[in-house]
Amino acid sequence: MAEIVIVGAGPAGISAAEILVANGLRPILIDEGARAGGQGYRRPADGLALDMNKLMGSEAGRYAALHARFAALRPQIDYRPQTLVWAIDGKRLHLLRDGRTETLDCDKLLIASGAMDRIAPLPGWTTPGVFTLGGAQVALKDQGCLIGSRVAFLGSSPLLALAAKQYRAMGAEIAVIADTTPFSAKLAAMPALLGAPRTLLRGLWYMATALRAGIPMLNGVTPVAVEGDGRVEALVLRDGSGRERRFACDAVALGYGLKPETQLADLAGAEFTYDPDFRLFLPKIDGFGRARPGLYLAGDGVRIGGADAAEASGALAAHAILSDLGRPQDIAAIRPLARRVARLRGFQRGLAQAFAWPKQQIAALPDSVTLCRCENVTIGEVRAAMAQSLGPVEVNRVKAMTRCGMGRCQGRVCGPALQEIVAAGTGQGGESAGRLRGQAPVKPIALAAAEEPA
Amino acid sequence: MDRSQAQFRRVAFRSGAAVTLSFDGLPIRATAGDSVLAALLENGALIRHLEFGGEPRAGFCLMGACQDCWVWSSEGGRIRACTTPVSQGMKLFAEPQGMADPHG
């Protein structure tokens, strides 16, 4: 029987596994996490007295349903938690579990690797106490901890207000919710956002809640600096009218929307194309998530769409796998899934206008700002390397010259900002900066483990 | 350690076995299920100094992606604090111990 491997036990991976199981197959579901659910529907570790219903709010029902579905699914699949796929070589996956490596050959591979925050640097952003917005939510959902007692939320995303609401409900003081996109851009994007759905309504509702609670909520800000010696003391920014404002806080949550984790898709041989709306290189897929023969991509790991789109796209990919195995699929069941995925992912394009990636602000950052937090490379070093470079300037060349993007995170954090700095230097579009290529291992592994005979 | 200087603030009680670990020789009390990172930041401990320039770091993404919260174990290996649960008797350090390669 064909070996079907799904990487990622979030909403996309779980939905795909369900359909395969319903068709008499027993897929292998590999997940780096200890508990299924992915980042968004993350389940707290045992023993934590955390009211997930309160925390998840209107999403509580979906959260509970996903975990109930997984509990029913688990005996029917080969579930391998706490397992890292650190390299892919053709049809062979290289795994790391409990410090030991092994290989796994597959016929069909579905990657549902999820997303992480997209980050724009600012002066002082490496100060302890600055965390990603997603990280602020993980600290709460996974560990029952707030990242600080008085927290500033900075970036551009409807999730800023969502996370601030969760933090406030759990007893945090909210110093400010500061969004770099002007309110006028949010209004202009309204037509693209209509018709879609709960996500927008939730976002607006949280913003209204924050306003009523008297939380300072600013649009069109320019970040100036995170201040503090060894720990966060304040967030300084210029508001929409150009006035500098200082918000005392002991933690900052930073997030400019999400970006797909595409390193594994890259190693598995997906082709990439530049998306000018999101200003990211994304894997090419067909309407079902096929990237190449035997390779399928689903969920936020290939296109940001949120949990509902992830579920539907995981199901679509499972239907594609079945179809490619020679099992005819019921088109009537597939059409609504495809429509839902298209609608929810289309909605994200509207969001990308209303909560824009601040490319001009990044291009204008001073030379002294750290760009690569792994290798401690400043924006000035990148600019200097570009000035010295002979031949065409692109991100992989700059990476080789400066080590920016070469560190342990593999450019996950600095990549999007590096791309804008390079694009600003070339004076051409974002695409001209090129794409940081993925490298194995996608995450650091102990050398002893990598050297073991496979 | 001065708990008033803690970075993280616990807002949900965790029941479970009490665990004692140490960080740079100082005892840290935690509960089974806590991540190393949460245990350290709840106790006001610094996580690490960057290999390049030595500036303090305390993690960033908290989901195993940014690799900015690695600490050192007494055996010379590295542990990613945000995705590693605490265990009884763990001895952890902000700096590498012995001859381990700090860039390994």
Quote the ipTM score.
Answer: 0.92
Residues A394, A386: Cα–Cα separation, whole Å:
9
* Contact status, residue A393 vs residue A402, Cβ threshold 8 Å: no
- Name which of A143, A149, A373 is nearest B35 (Cβ-Cβ): A143
- Strand pairing report for A115-117 and A258-260: antiparallel
For residue A363, give the amino acid letter: A
Question: How does strand A290-292 pair with strand A295-297?
Answer: antiparallel
Q: Which residues contact B25 (CB under 8 A, 6 or more apart)?
A: none
User: Which tokens hold the place of A284?
Assistant: 């090419």
Interchain CB distance below 8 Å, B67 and A409:
yes
On chain A, the residues whose CB falls within 8 A of the CB of B60 are 130-132, 135, 373, 413
Parse chain A into domains and list their residue ranges: 4-116+259-351, 119-256, 359-433
B39–chain A nearest CA distance, Å: 9
Cα(A144)–Cα(A146) distance, integer angstroms:
7
Question: What is the residue range of B66's domain?
Answer: 17-93
pLDDT per residue as tens digits for the range A400-429: 999 999 888 999 999 999 999 999 988 888
Helix axes A11-22, A306-324, angle to 10 degrees: 30
Nearest to A348 by CA among A280, A414, A416: A280
> How far, CA to CA in Å, does A254 sit from each of A118, A163, B37?
9, 11, 19
Provide the CATH number for the domain formed by A4-116+259-351 in this structure.
3.50.50.60
- Which positions 135-164 of A are in contact with B (Cβ < 8 Å)? 135-136, 138-140, 142-149
Q: Which of A138, A146, A230 sits opposite B11 (nearest CB)?
A: A146
Nearest Cα residue to B63 out of A300, A362, A53, A192: A300
In a domain, B28, yes or no: yes
Question: Over A157-213, what HEC string results?
Answer: CHHHHHHHHHHHHCCCEEEEEEECCCHHHHHHCHHHHCCCCHHHHHHHHHHHHHHHC
Between chain A and chain B, how many beta carbons pairs sit less than 8 Å apart? 143
Minimal C-alpha gap between B24 and chain A (Å): 18
Give chain B's domain count. 1
Q: How far apart are CA A159 and CA B71, in angstroms?
A: 30
In a domain, B8, yes or no: no
* Cβ A409 vs Cβ A263: under 8 Å: no
> Which CATH number belongs to the domain containing residue B76 in this structure?
3.10.20.440
Q: What is the pLDDT of residue B4?
A: 53
Give the DSSP H/E element, type plus range, for residue A222. strand A222-227
How is A362-412 classified by DSSP, letter by letter? HHT--TTSEEETTTTEEHHHHHHHHHH--S---HHHHHHHH-TT-STTTTT
Answering whether pTM is above 0.90, one says yes
Cβ partners under 8 Å of residue A72, min gap 6? none
**Which residue, among A85, A96, A118, A145, would best test binding to B if mutated, counting the most B CBs under 10 Å from its CB?**
A145
Say if residues B43 and B1 touch (Cβ distance below 8 Å).
Answer: yes
Nearest to A89 by CA among A107, A105, A102: A105
Residue A66 pLDDT: 94
Q: Can you tell me the mean pLDDT for B4-9?
A: 85
Beta bridge partners of B93: B72
Token reading at B96: 């590498």
Do the first three CATH levels of A4-116+259-351 and A359-433 match, i.e. the same topology?
Answer: no
How confident is the model at residue A452, as a pLDDT?
47
Q: What is the mean pLDDT of each run of 10 residues along chain A (454 residues)?
A: 92 98 98 91 83 81 92 98 95 93 96 97 97 96 95 95 91 96 86 66 73 87 96 97 97 97 97 95 97 98 94 98 96 94 89 92 97 95 89 86 90 95 87 89 72 46
Mean pLDDT of B17-36: 95
Whole-number pLDDT of residue A46: 76
Would you state the structure tokens that stand for residue A144, as one six-digit string? 């029952």
3-state secondary structure of A315: helix
Q: Write the CATH number of the domain with boundaries A359-433.
A: 1.10.10
What average pLDDT does chain B have? Answer: 87
Element (H, E) at A359: helix A359-363
**What is the fold, at CATH topology level, of the domain defined by A119-256?**
FAD/NAD(P)-binding domain (3.50.50)
Q: Is A179 within 8 Å of chain B by CB?
A: no
Per-residue pLDDT at A199: 61
